[in-house]
Amino acid sequence: MLAEQVIGLSQSGKLNDDVHLPDEWITSLVDFIRAGLVDWRDDPLRPAQTSETQLTAQLCSRLNSLSRHSAGWDFLQFKREEPDDTDGRRSIDLAVAPNGSTIWLEGREYTEYRMLMPIECKRLPTPRGTKRDEHEYLSSKFSSTGGVHRFKAGHHGAAHCRAAIIAYVQDQDISSWHTQINSWIEELTGDAVTGWSTADKLGMILHDTSTRAAHLTSRNERAGALGPILLDHLWVEM
């Protein structure tokens, strides 16, 4: 079932900081999205698709429906291909934003025009192609399309200290990919690729084998003067 925790809001939509700490609220949002991933995948009305674009479009629609009909979440909306906050030339696959409300987190104002959390979406494995890199969940030698790399380089989410990456696991399983991706990080570190270290490895927070979904996290250092970013990795076996 979807997360049932009701987040306390005042009439203006401002979070009650005395009851709900910002980190606690964001974590509950991540839990809501993870549960929504399972609900969306298992929806018998969902047309079968395989491409990242089509899957993300479906997921966005489903999350909007779930938030609209879930107590405590109807003040949110999910949007696709949103311009990045600091670099409008780049677009975010999926963004969470207030829906007709004003929300305050850590002294910062969020409205429907400012996303609360940027989310990238990736397929595992990466589709084959002449300019596709199997390591694209992390980085790509052909472009800047690498999921984690985009956040580490500040290309995405530079205005945020927390973001998420959704993985549609289309082959093998979550445990196999957890091992594989951490192995690739060790290779990047061993090859002395700038900006990468074993500290970038993903840690498992929750692996629900009954729903075939997982929540992993990583704390990643970023380029320049940007501080580290916490990435929530939400994986679902398709």
Rounded to whole angstroms, the maximal C-alpha distance in the chain is 54
pLDDT at 101: 84
Average pLDDT for residues 90-110, to the nearest whole number?
Answer: 89
Report in angstroms the alpha-carbon separations of 148 from 9, 79, 86: 33, 20, 17
Residue 150 — very low, low, confident or very high, per pLDDT cuts 50/70/90? very high
Mean pLDDT of all residues in 14-19: 36
Q: Which residue has the higher pLDDT, 137 or 12?
A: 137
Q: Give CA separation, 84 vs 116, 154, 179, in Å.
A: 12, 10, 31
Query: Residue 94 in contact with residue 166, Cβ under 8 Å?
Result: yes
**Predicted confidence band at 234 (pLDDT cuts at 50, 70, 90)?**
very high
Higher per-residue pLDDT: 132 or 46: 46
Contacts of 44 (CB under 8 A, 6+ apart): none
Q: How many contiguous H segments (helices) and E segments (strands) does the chain have?
A: 4, 9
| In the chain, alpha helices (H) | 22-41, 52-68, 147-152, 174-190
pLDDT at 192 over 60: yes
How is the chain split into domains, by residue range? 22-237
Among the residue ranges 19-28, 81-90, 137-146, 190-199, the one predicted with the least confidence is 19-28
The SS3 call for residue 234 is strand
Cβ contact 116:46 at 8 Å: no
Single pTM value for the model: 0.90
pLDDT at 120 over 80: yes
Mean pLDDT of the chain: 89
% of the chain residues with pLDDT over 70: 90
Q: How far apart are CA 3 and CA 23, in angstroms?
A: 16
Confidence of residue 23 (pLDDT cuts 50, 70, 90): low
